[in-house]
Amino acid sequence: MVSQASLDPLDDPSAARRNVLRVLAVFRRRGWIPVLASGIAVAALAALSLMKPPTYTASGLVQLGLFSPAGLDPRSPAAMAMFETHHQLLTSHVVVDRAMEAFGYELAEGPERQDQRDEFLSALTIWPIKDTFLIHVEASTTDPRRSAAAVNTLMDAFIPFSEEFLASREVLREQQLRRDERRLLELLREAEERQKDLYERTGYHNFDAQRASPLVRTQDLQGRLTAIQLERALAQTERSSYEQRVQQIANTPEIEQLAGLGGNDPLLQARRELIAELNVRLANLRAHVPPEKLEQLVEYREAEAQLESARRGFRELLSAAARAQMAMHAQREAALLAQERELGELIATERNTVSSLNQLEGQYRAVLRQIEFCERELDIVRNELRRIESRTVGGTGAMVVNAAQPPTKPKPRVGALNLIGAALAVFVMGLLGLVLWDHLDDEVMRPEDLEDTGVPLLGQVPRLDLTAVDELTHLRGSSWAAEALGLIRTNLAVASGGLRQGALLVTSGAAGDGKSFFSLNLATALARTGGRTLLIEADMRRPRIRPLLVLDDRDDGLSDVLVGEAPLEDVVRETEFDGLDFLPSGPCPLNPADVLLRPELEALLRTALERYDHVVIDGPPARPLADASLLARHVHGVVHVARVGASRRSIVRQGLEQIQAVGGRNLGLVLNDVTPEDDPAFRYDGYAPARPAGGDPVPGGFFVVLPQVPDAVAPPPPAGRASA
């Protein structure tokens, strides 16, 4: 199949199915390895357990009496801490030494004492029972009485030690509580004195009521301040507008353009009328008096002087009025700024009042919190003291609930669940190792191994047992191998767009993949279709086909044609198969690649294609020789043969790349030597043709008709397995 874009196996059901099938195929071929490993592991575990002497386990229970009167939850952190404390006490040096003395040990001095302790504790196991006040003590030895004695002596040594430990602990706890009581009383006294001093200095305060009035005044003052700020901003805007008017009056050359700035001021109105009257008089004079006499006319000169004087006066009046307005708004702005500052000071005063009240309230609350804390902690300490005083020390220690009894039955050496678990663990590890081995193995074992080459798989050739039937029998088309070759022939015709008048080169990645066997079978399959077929043995280094098809002693062949020593028609042999002719390789030249570079090769193939319908070339391996690359340039397409268990995926890919690099056309791949274990399609037990008369069985579950051999002629020796 042609390789497609890689998909996530979790999103591609077909990829997941291929992975599962691949794992199943690996297990089918090598599943005996994890099964054998599991059996060996179980046998070894059972043998080791049988070699060990039987062990007897005795156990006892110790109750921690401290918690019952304390009312503690056994799941609380305090209970867990006490459990751990008792575990450490059970294995402390004092308890272990007392137990060893009761057990009969002669205590050593120095480092040897610790070795004795370790030896004694090695047989003991101690753990708390969940959600209870019990501690489980267990001992396992080869002697049942010794196991029970070890548990009982340890518990008996622990009980008085626990009483002593807890009694001393209660005394220390009471002393600590007394110190805490005195410290809390001192803190409470200091807090009450600070509270009294605050009341004497400041008195009682209703802080919420006292803060209400300053807050209201602050809000009112803030509103007034906002209004004054808006009014001052308006006055500042008015002043800026009059400053711009003064600049406009000074920079405008034509005073008539400023006529609308005066408003309703009578003085400015009179000036505007005078300027207008003078402009009218001058316009009349310009209209009735020639221009050259205007300057000589006294009335015209007087009118111009009056107009200029009126214009200056009007400009001065406008500037004075604008400056007066600007000064008025500046005074107003200064007054508003003073009011704004006054209001800001009043607001700051009110805020300081509120802040002082807040600070004072904080001091009051801090003192009250300290008093409440001291009183609460003091109550807790005094309650704990009362509980300690009311409790008797003798009821706080540990107590033996169940004494250990000598066991009557030994401990099971290896349980069935342990054996099953070990077998499953070894089996799973072996299976994972097989999957990893298959992933790292470069051998071609199934069709899926060739998917990443990008070249379609044309078909599969089943493994043939040539020790029972000679190789020529399979070429007559009466075996399941011939049926498989027929299917490959059909797929090849589809892949190449037709097989007639075309030369096909058969090669492989390396020697021993079965290319010569496939070339011969493909040629006979093409000959059975009715077209004339020529099989050329181009592997001049290691010819394999000639001993099967040629019965004469001549050694001429392809090499003679290429060097020009013989014509094609003289070296071609007819075979016993109808429509099939054979061109043997001939004598092997010193360097076959040099011979294949000669132009006679192209002429030979052209002549062969004119005379035959099909031309099949059995070429040498593509790697590491250059012969196949030289032949690939002159043929219609190249078929690569890979063999199960022999070919390497890297070599197959290199061979395909080498053919493609020289411009050759890779038509597809053929997987050779496929067993029924590798492909269930080759299991023919359920679909075998009826055994004909005179037929002999062929291994693999199918029958072929053998040729009738005369009695005087011995059958040819078996050719062995098709591995060329």
Q: Are residues 352 and 484 in the same domain?
A: no
Strand order in the sheet with 666-674: 457-462, 666-674, 637-643, 502-508, 614-618, 533-537, 580-583, 573-574
Q: Is 453 helix (H, G, I), strand (E, B) or coil?
A: helix
Beta strands in 546-598 (DSSP E): 573-574, 580-583
Whether 604 has a pLDDT exceeding 60, the answer reads yes
AA identity, residue 62: V
AA identity, residue 706: L
Q: Is 198 helix (H, G, I), strand (E, B) or coil?
A: helix
Q: Which residues contact 556 (CB under 8 A, 6 or more apart)?
A: 565, 566, 570, 571, 584, 586, 587
For residue 202, being part of any structural domain is answered with no
How far is 273 from 278, CA to CA, in rounded Å? 9
The boundaries of the domain holding residue 366 are: 207-393
Do the Cβ atoms of 641 and 670 come closer than 8 Å?
A: yes
- Burial level of 687, CB count in 10 A (0-12/13-18/19+)? exposed
Which token pair is 373? 């804390």
Q: Are residues 307 and 431 in the same domain?
A: no
AA identity, residue 689: P
Do the Cβ atoms of 381 and 177 come closer than 8 Å?
A: yes
Who has greater pLDDT, 117 or 163? 117
Which token pair is 170? 């209660």
Q: Are residues 433 and 466 in the same domain?
A: no
To 10 degrees, the CA torsion angle through 257, 258, 259, 264? 160
Q: Are residues 382 and 511 in the same domain?
A: no
For residue 110, being part of any structural domain is answered with no
Check residue 648 and report its DSSP letter: B
Number of independent structural domains in the chain: 3
List the one residue out of 324, 313, 334, 331 whose CA is nearest residue 246: 324
Taking every pair of C-alpha atoms in the chain, what is the biggest distance, in angstroms? 169
Q: Are residues 521 and 640 in the same domain?
A: yes
Q: Other CB atoms closer than 10 Å to residue 417's CB: what's the count?
A: 8
Report phi then psi at 272, rounded to 5. -65, -40
Which token pair is 590? 């010193």
Check residue 666 and report its DSSP letter: E
Q: Are residues 267 and 316 in the same domain?
A: yes
For residue 591, being part of any structural domain is answered with yes
Whether 5 has a pLDDT exceeding 90, the answer reads no
Q: Are residues 219 and 313 in the same domain?
A: yes
Do the Cβ atoms of 411 and 71 come closer than 8 Å?
A: no
Q: Are residues 342 and 470 in the same domain?
A: no
State the number of CA atoms in the 13 A half-sphere of 202 facing the CB.
Answer: 15
Q: Are residues 469 and 572 in the same domain?
A: yes
Q: Are residues 371 and 417 in the same domain?
A: no
Least confident piece of the model among 413-422, 571-580, 603-612, 634-643: 413-422
HEC secondary structure over 118-139: HHHHCCEEEEECCCCCEEEEEE
Q: What is the CA radius of gyration of the chain?
A: 58
Q: What is the pLDDT of residue 498?
A: 65
CATH number where 485 lies = 3.40.50.300
For residue 519, being part of any structural domain is answered with yes
List the one residue out of 58, 51, 50 whose CA is nearest residue 140: 58
pLDDT digits (tens, 9 = 90+) for 6-41: 444 444 556 566 667 667 766 776 777 888 888 888
pLDDT digits (tens, 9 = 90+) for 442-466: 677 777 777 777 788 888 888 776 5
pLDDT digits (tens, 9 = 90+) for 524-552: 888 888 889 999 998 888 888 888 887 67
What pTM value is reported for the model?
Answer: 0.44
Q: Are residues 488 and 363 in the same domain?
A: no
For residue 672, being part of any structural domain is answered with yes
How far is 70 from 66, CA to CA, in rounded Å? 7
How far is 216 from 229, CA to CA, in rounded Å? 20
For residue 68, being part of any structural domain is answered with no
Q: How confident is the model at residue 233 (pLDDT cuts 50, 70, 90)?
A: very high
Do the Cβ atoms of 489 and 450 come closer than 8 Å?
A: no
Q: Is the peptide bond before 624 cis (omega within 30 degrees of 0)?
A: yes
Residue 408's DSSP bridge partners are none
Q: Are residues 621 and 569 in the same domain?
A: yes
How far is 636 from 186, CA to CA, in rounded Å? 109
Place of tokens 């009011």: 339
Residue 637's DSSP bridge partners are 504
Q: What is the pLDDT of residue 440?
A: 65
For residue 66, being part of any structural domain is answered with no
For residue 582, being part of any structural domain is answered with yes
Report phi then psi at 66, rounded to 5. -65, -35
What is the pLDDT averaged over residues 282-290? 81
Across the chain, mean pLDDT equals: 77
Q: Is 505 helix (H, G, I), strand (E, B) or coil?
A: strand
- Burial level of 612, CB count in 10 A (0-12/13-18/19+)? buried
